[in-house]
Each structure stands twice: as structure tokens, then as C-alpha cells.
Chain A
């Protein structure tokens, strides 16, 4: 990551130097935390390190990663998109309905339809925020309810179940023609695309600029409104993609699909070092954030923490991760000075 490139240093052989160099990466704190967690969990449950379990984790975090990356772009502009979960719910329902009606339709159309529908919902968010001058948290809190309400309206309260969906659609997320499940490959492609976009295009850099000093953006010739509008459209687009994968993976579309998921996407971003005050955040960081969340969820079950405790334990681990990350970062900044 360009922003986190360590200061160039003569290569020295001693292990401590190597570690020190590693620590200078912005993502060092969370990586260390992940390693410690993996170590501790493996001691209690050796099956944690099995290939099956690893595949399971990857499968579980694919959708989270895609939406967390969308959320990250929004948060970098000093915004937030709380409506992602409702967008997933609504798009999943609509796409599943269309697929049910047209079982012969190639699945790629389902994907494109989902992304198009998501983009429209995202545009609506973007318009409310830029044209209506509504703070993002309020605007997307409003559309969160509206979109969820539309799910009920659209479905009349009914679900679409596994037997109503064609096999090709169900395999869309889980098929492994390339060795890994399609869903994991899609997540990797999205991550690469977002990485390239944020680091190697002007528009991507404008996203950071708008987030770090919105007032200065016009002086630099950056069209702030357009950038903000764009990130919400992208957020909708990726939520739409995630919705199709979600419906395919869980082989259903329900009225409460992805309910509460928006907070997980925010958590993955923030744990991954994205600053809620804008201007700061990297793709590798968010990937690690999503990975950490996935590992936490997976391992709590493995080491047989009571399901009643799991949610609280999850929250606790997230807080510990964020605090230790801050602590390490402070240490690094002090030694760099």
C-alpha cells in the first residue's frame, strides 16, 4: 500500500530489525492481533487450522469483504452508509423473484440486474445527501427503513425458498470451477479493483482529498458533490452484487435478509484502520478487518463459547483489537520521529 510504505532502510539481518520494519506498516497492529488470536484458538481447538475450516472462513467473509470495501470508500469521504443491509435485502428479494420467474435466464444477468438495482438505490442515497444536504448518517438511516419497508411491500411478506430457485443460481456463489468458490474469487477481484481505484486513479485520490479536507477540495478543482454522490452509487452497486451472492449462497430471499449487517461492515472497516473522521483507510487494512471478524465468529464456535455469550465476546474482541492497534500505531509513530 502506497500510504503505508515503510521508510526505506538499509537491509539488516537481525530478526528484531525485520520485525521492526514489519511493524512500520500501518496494518501491523491488526496482523499481530490476528496471529495471536490464531495461536490461542489453535491451542484450544487444533481443527481451527484445517483447510476445511479455512475455506469456511473465506466463504463466510467474502460478502462482508465486498460490502466493507464499499463502506470504506464512503467512510473515507467522512460519510457512512447505514442502508447497505436494507439494499442487500431489497435487491436479494427482487433478483430472487426475477430468477424464480425466469429459471432459464443466464445467471450473469442476475448479477448485472443486482448491481444495476443496487446502483439505483445508491443514487437515491447520493441525491439525498448531496442535493438535499442531509448528513449521511441521517439520510441512510432513513433509506435503511425505506428500503427494508420496500422489501415487505415487494414480497407481501413472503419468502423465496431454496426449491423455487434454479440450481445454476445456487451454484453461482458456491461453484468452484476455478478451484476456489466463485464468491471468494469475486471478493478478491473486487478488492483488487477497489485497491487500484483508490490508489491509482485521480477519482480515487479525490475521495481521500474530499474526506481529509472537504473545504479545500474546491480550491484544488475537485468537484466534491460528484465524488460524494459517486461513493454512494458505488456502495449501492457493491451492495447489489453482494445481494445476489447472498441469495445464491443462502438459497433464499427473506424479508429480514442481511438485517443488522451494516454494523458489521462498519466494524470491519474501522477495525481495519479506516478513520471514521475521513481521509484515512487502506484496502489491505479492511481485508484484515474482515478476516479478523470472520476468525472471531468462527473460533468462538470452535472453542465452544456459549452462543449466549458469543455476541458479547465478539464485541469485546473487536474493542481489544482496535485499542491494541491504536497502541501499536502510537509506539510506531513515536519511534519514527
Chain B
């Protein structure tokens, strides 16, 4: 019996000539939670896919319990007891929750007929044991991102794996759900399973992981025991330089009110939402996933207009019924789901950036390509987008770079009011710091920013003021000085309103 459950030795992997993994080694012990850390594009996800048989390494060895193995697809790794939650959601939108959990390995009777009764019963028990409440017959298409992530987790747990790989399983979960997940991970570890855990939230790693392996630019950097490292060590190892300030918020004297929302409501999603947003200010909007924050943002931006209440922009009462109108009023909205609402993955960077401003680049119905290209190029340059050229499609870029494209797109509209919905979700530390620095700069130049975030350090670090939503209404307002983690969690989860209402 080997010391390691799974061992990767000098794994290299290239895609169309570009080396994504270079001689990476990784050792996983039974009964440990092993964190895998690195910036976006460091090769973590590719390494995960090598472990699960989605990709085959060009060179190097994989040892399972000390024996050399070759995985040609995920069936084989599954039989070997390896399960994974992948970073990109891999659900089947038109299949229901229960079937999504068991797809590809539905329980069958001896005749090969799918045992639907058993499938639904198993799914029900599994979700019960995970503490998740979901309608088994709901199609995955109709689930929120957090719910989809819970289904992914259920799918991985249903395999009874002895090696469980989790690639950013918490990126869209609320604190409570994360706590539930951690309990499950602890339980699995006690049962002797080995867990590979990927997360950009360093706090989580300190809470959960025993050891950490750090990767940078497709290469192995170091493996350490979590007890022996500090947060700063990890960031230094991961980035290769020191990031001094993750939340570089400058103090700004807020100017006049730019956006005033008064008793805004939309039937079935939120009600009685009032707040003011001033020039040069970052207003943080905290709350659990599903509290209605995104719905408020979408209502203000005219995607799903409010059904009652009023919106004033610079003192003028406006009725915003379409995003086009919102753009003309100087609003910009960077949505939560980059892939779905923020980008057109198959189109090149240029087209993605110029999209909201096409009317400006078109004359008498003809697109002035030179002007469009120049504007997109400047915006991409300003955002320091890392790409081969501006004709690359958005799909080919890493998550951080995609987010930069979305930001570049909306900043090119020169908005006065910027609504950011989870601006740094699933983004590595380096890009995150860059996005925060940009927000701070924009605010100091007088832009009014409404930032929805489920990450408390981000809310606390970046906001001048904080409002908290719960179940479709605002439960608390805090100033920067008043806001604490405890107060916000309490306002997001309980009916009691704490803090001063201004």
C-alpha cells in the first residue's frame, strides 16, 4: 500500500501547441483535504481534468494506490472511485434534478430498464442527507446558479468516491450552504476519503484544508502544510509577487445623489426597496443568493422593469422599460452570470466590447469597423485584457479576462451609474485586486457604483455604505464604519433589523 491514494508524476499537457501543464506533480494522501491553489490560467482545472480522465496527459504518470494507471474517460475514473465537481457547470438543462444526479449511470433493473422509482428515491435520500431542498422533477434549466451547484455537489457525492475533487464548489453558494458543504467534506475525510479542493477564497482553505499545492503558469510551485503558511505566503507563492492591498478603497467625499430608488417593487421578486446612490460612492448590496438583489439590479436596468415605485436619476423621475433606455440614461449593468448574460462567447473580443455602443459606430446603417475596432482595442488595452489578439473569441479567454471584457464593454458606454453584480466571482486574486483598484478609481472619478456581492470581505472592503436584502426587501443600512461581518450576516438571515436606518 502506497502512502498516496493518487499520485501524479511530471504531468505535461498541451493544447494546440500551447503547454498548459508543465511537469506538474501532485500527491494526495488518504484522509486529507488537499487544496490546489493558483491564479486563473495556472492550470488547476486542466490538472483536475487529467485526474478525472477528461484529458489524457501528453507525458507523465498517474499512480493510483501506487499502481500505474491510465484513464481514458470519466467512466474509468468513476469506477476507480474518483468523483469531481467541475468549475464550469456541467448539468443537462432539459433533464430534471434527479436525473441530472444520476445521468449516465441511472440505476437499472436486471433487464436493463431504468428503475425510475429507485432513481427518485435515491435522489431524495441523497438530497436529504446533504440538507438540500430541491424539487426532484424541476428541470435544471429552471434552477438558480446556487441550486445548480448543489445538484453538481449531489452528483459528486452520489458516487461514494474515495477521491473527491471539487473545483470551486463554493463560488456561488451562500454562507450557510458553504457551512453545510464543509460539514460534508469533514465527514468524508473522517471516513478516509481524500479531497482535492480548489477555491479562490483563501479563508476557506485555512478553515478546511490540511495541505496546499500551489501552481503558477502551468507549473508546480510548492506543497506546504496549511499550518505552516500565512495568507501572505500563499498569495506570494501564487502570484509570484506581493499584492499589498486587496481592497484598495480610497475615501471619497460622496457628491450629490445620482440615483434614487423609492419603494421599488416587482411582483413576486422584491418589494419596498428604497435607497440612494451618490456620486463617487460605492454602495454595497449584501444578502443571500436569492434575496432579490439581482432582481433589483435588473429592474433598475430595465431588463425586468419594476411594477411599482419610482426611480430618479439626477433628480429626474424616469421610467426605465428597456436596457437600451437605461444605457442612454447613463446606466451600465455588469451581470452576475458572465457566460449567460455578460458575453457572447462565440464572438470576438471586439464585437463583445462594441455591442452596447453599436449605434454610435454605425452610420446610416453601416458599421464603421475601423472606429469600432479602435474603441474596442483601447478599452481592452485599458483593462489589460490578456489575449493573443482582439479577434480571439471570448470563449477562449480565462474567467478573469472574460470579466475584464465585460467591464471594458460597459465602461466604453461611459456610464454615470455602474451596477456590478458579483464582479469578482470565480476570479483569481491578481485580477480581483485589479478589478477592485479599477472600481476605486472609477468612484474617485465621480462614478456612482452599486455593487452586489455575496463575499463579505469584498462588501466590507469596498463599500462606502452597505444595504442588506433578505427575502425581497431591504433589512438594513450600514455606513462603512458601522458595518461588520456579524451585523451583515444577521441582517441577511434574520427578520430583526440591526443598525441605523438613515
Contacts and interface: CB of A to CB of B under 8 A. Distances in A.
B92 A202 contact: no
Interface stretch (A126-134, A146-154, A209-217): A209-217
B74 A216 contact: no
A201 B113 contact: yes
A219 interface: yes
A232 interface: no
B74 A212 contact: no
B103 A205 contact: yes
A219 B113 contact: no
B92 A213 contact: yes
A101 B116 CA distance: 50
Interface in A186-237: 199-202, 205-206, 208-209, 211-213, 215-216, 218-223
Contact of B114 (A202, A213, A215, A222): A202
Interface string B70-99: 000111001000001010111111111001
Given A209-B104, A222-B104, A201 B94 contact: no
B116 A220 contact: no
Contact of A202 (B54, B91, B94, B106): B106
Nearest to A222: B104
B116 A208 contact: no
Contacts of A69: none
A201 B116 contact: no
B231 to A, nearest CB: 32
Interface SS, B side:
loop
Find the residue from B52, B94, B106, B112 having the highest chain A CB count within 10 A: B94
A279 interface: yes
A221 B93 contact: no
B234 to A, nearest CB: 29
Range class of the A interface residue count: 20 to 34
A219 B94 contact: no
Interface string B24-56: 000000000000000000000000000010100
Given A201-B113, A221-B78, A223-B73, A208 B105 contact: no
Interface in A157-189: none
Nearest to B135: A7
B75 A2 contact: no
Contacts of A215: 88, 90
B145 to A, nearest CB: 15
Contacts of A41: none
Contacts of B325: none
Contacts of A220: 74, 90, 92, 103-104
Contacts of B91: 213, 216
Contacts of A221: 73-75, 78, 104-105
B106 A212 contact: no
A213 B89 CA distance: 10
A216 B88 CA distance: 9
Given A218-B54, A219-B86, A205 B93 contact: no
A280 interface: yes
B108 interface: yes
Given A220-B74, A222-B103, A212 B95 contact: yes
A200 B113 CA distance: 5
Contact of A213 (B52, B75, B93): B93
Contact of B116 (A2, A211, A218, A222): A2
B159 to A, nearest CB: 10
Contacts of B74: 218-221
A216 B94 CA distance: 13
A199 B73 CA distance: 25
A206 B94 CA distance: 12
Interface SS, A side:
helix
B104 A202 contact: yes
Contact of B92 (A201, A223, A279): A279
Find the residue from A5, A7, A205, A206 having the highest chain B CB count within 10 A: A205
A205 B106 contact: yes
A216 B112 contact: no
Interface string A1-41: 01101010000000000000000000000000000000000
Contact of B104 (A201, A206, A211): A206
A3 B75 CA distance: 26
Contact of A209 (B88, B89, B103, B113): B103
Contacts of B84: 219
Nearest to A219: B90
A2 B94 CA distance: 13
B113 A208 contact: no
A130 B106 CA distance: 25
A206 B89 CA distance: 18
A199 B112 CA distance: 12
Contacts of B86: 219
Nearest to B74: A221
Contacts of A222: 103-104
A183 B84 CA distance: 49
A3 to B, nearest CB: 8
B73 A205 contact: no
A2 B105 CA distance: 18
Contacts of B88: 215
Interface string B244-288: 000000000000000000000000000000000000000000000
B94 A280 contact: yes
Given A220-B74, A221-B73, A201 B90 contact: no
Contacts of A2: 116
A5 B137 CA distance: 9
A332 to B, nearest CB: 14
A43 to B, nearest CB: 39
B92 A212 contact: yes
A232 B242 CA distance: 57
A130 to B, nearest CB: 16
A110 to B, nearest CB: 30
B47 to A, nearest CB: 15
B92 A216 contact: yes
Contacts of B112: 201-202
Nearest to B54: A218
Contacts of B103: 205-206, 209, 220, 222
Contact of B94 (A7, A199, A208, A218): A208
A183 to B, nearest CB: 28
Contacts of A7: 137
Interface of A: 2-3, 5, 7, 199-202, 205-206, 208-209, 211-213, 215-216, 218-223, 279-280
Of all A-B residue pairs in the complex, the 4 with the closest CB atoms, nearest first, are A216-B90, A279-B94, A212-B94, A220-B104
21 contacts: A200-B114, A205-B99, A205-B103, A206-B103, A208-B92, A208-B94, A209-B103, A212-B94, A212-B95, A216-B91, A218-B54, A219-B74, A219-B84, A219-B86, A219-B90, A220-B92, A220-B103, A221-B78, A221-B104, A222-B103, A279-B94
Interface of B: 52, 54, 73-75, 78, 84, 86, 88-96, 99, 103-106, 108, 112-114, 116, 137
